[in-house]
Structure 1
Amino acid sequence: MIKITGGNFKRKKLDTISKFVRPTSSLKREAFFSVIESYGLKNSYNYFYKKVFLDLFAGIGTMGLEAISRGIEYVIFYENNKEVIKVLEKNCKNLCKKNQYEIIEENLVNSNIEINFTNISIIYIDPPYNQYNINNLLNILQKKINKKTIIGVESSIKDNFKIPENFELIKQKKYGKTNLSFLILA
């Protein structure tokens, strides 16, 4: 069972679909938002107020819904699996107002991510392990995001993920067989 770990929806349950998704654990979610809040305080920047969260490979929406619960104004979910999207839509309808989110059904392998990046302060990337080149996606994003945008990347330690030269690693945490990396533009 998956529950929201913090904010207004703390302890609210999310529906899941086990055969298609690997939801981000509560420990990683807590750590992720703790790092974002800490980095924002250190740099006198609020990553949540009137900001947008971009959840790439959204699955059932765990990270984006956690962000809304913690005060983010709007979430854009990218997901391409129709069965998973049904669960994502149900979770969004159970927790959010319709004007707080958008679900884009698109395969990121074939996408150029044509959205407005002006207010996006946090991007979360959690592709299926060993099935997607994260660096290709980061190369697309680097031309669109602003200097303050934080990108969180969840990857398998077996993935060949290396920090691109135009990004700065601000923190990296290891959880078992998973790395959680936090990047900003250099």
Structure 2
Amino acid sequence: MRVIAGTAKRLPLKTVPGDGTRPTTDRIKETLFNMIQHELYETRFLDLFAGSGGIGIEALSRGASKAVFVENNRKAAKCISENLDFTRLAERADILQMDVLAALHILSGAPPFDFVFIDPPYREGWEERVLTALSASGLLAESSIVIVEAAKDTSFDFLENTGFILRQRKEYKTNAHLFLQPAARGGNK
């Protein structure tokens, strides 16, 4: 795993040993960031279920002004810290080693995030719980974009009830990225 573009381009990133995390492949990460690159500069980025931090670090490398990483696993949080130090992006980052729902509660009242990336364990129902909590948190502006990485077969029938509208869906071989916007913003683009 490496940083694809920006100030930390080509730098390798550590990953957490074992199968407790599921790093986004370089190819999928590159596709994702090609889709949002023009909206990323000087934004605030929230990386939930951050794993080794590859997504939030890519956002910082490409011009995000601030990234907050939320990761409950102690070894993964340490890995994020080491990766931030290695890429020299630590000054623009905060790491919260805690449960995602607790972190959303603690972050409540912080300035809104422009982007939120959610990559929970697949098929455990986290998507609905986190989106519901995020919708009520006050951490989103009308223009915020929430990106959920999920198994391709994950049902999002609950989406309307969580306060979000599907803006775009990008499918890969086994997973998908859903680009969501707060419902108050109106119809699809």
Aligned length: 177
- Which segment is superposed worse, 133-142 or 145-154? 133-142
User: Is the 1:56–1:77 contact (alpha carbons within 8 Å) kept by the matching residues of 2?
Assistant: yes
Residue 6 (structure 2) pairs with residue 14 (structure 1): no
SS of 1:14's partner is: coil
Provide the C-alpha distance between the structure 1 equivalents of 2:60 and 2:157, rounded to a whole number of angstroms.
Answer: 30
TM normalised by structure 2 equals 0.86
2:67 maps to what in 1?
75
Corresponding residue to 1:126 among 119, 126, 129: 119
Other structure's SS at 1:8 match: coil
Choose the corresponding residue for 2:135, options 139, 142, 150: 142
Contact between 2:71 and 2:99, CA under 8 Å: does it hold in 1?
Answer: yes
> Is this contact kept in 2: 1:53–1:121, CA < 8 A?
yes
* Residues in 2 aligned to 1:118 and 1:152: alpha-carbon distance in whole angstroms: 19
Aligned to 2:3: 4
Post-superposition CA distance 1:131-155 (Å, at most 9, x none): 2421121111113211111000000
RMSD across aligned C-alpha pairs, in angstroms?
1.8
- Structure 1 gaps of 5+ residues are 41-46
Equivalent residue number for residue 44 of structure 1: none
Match of 1:180 in 2: 177
> Matched residue of 1:146: which SS?
strand
Q: Which moved more, 1:29-38 or 1:19-28?
A: 29-38
Contact 1:174 1:180 in 2 (8 A): yes
**Residues in 2 aligned to 1:64 and 1:114: alpha-carbon distance in whole angstroms:** 19
Letter in 1 for 2:169: Q
1:43 maps to none
| Structure with the larger helix share | 2
Shift of 1:112: 4.2
One-letter code of the match for 2:82? K
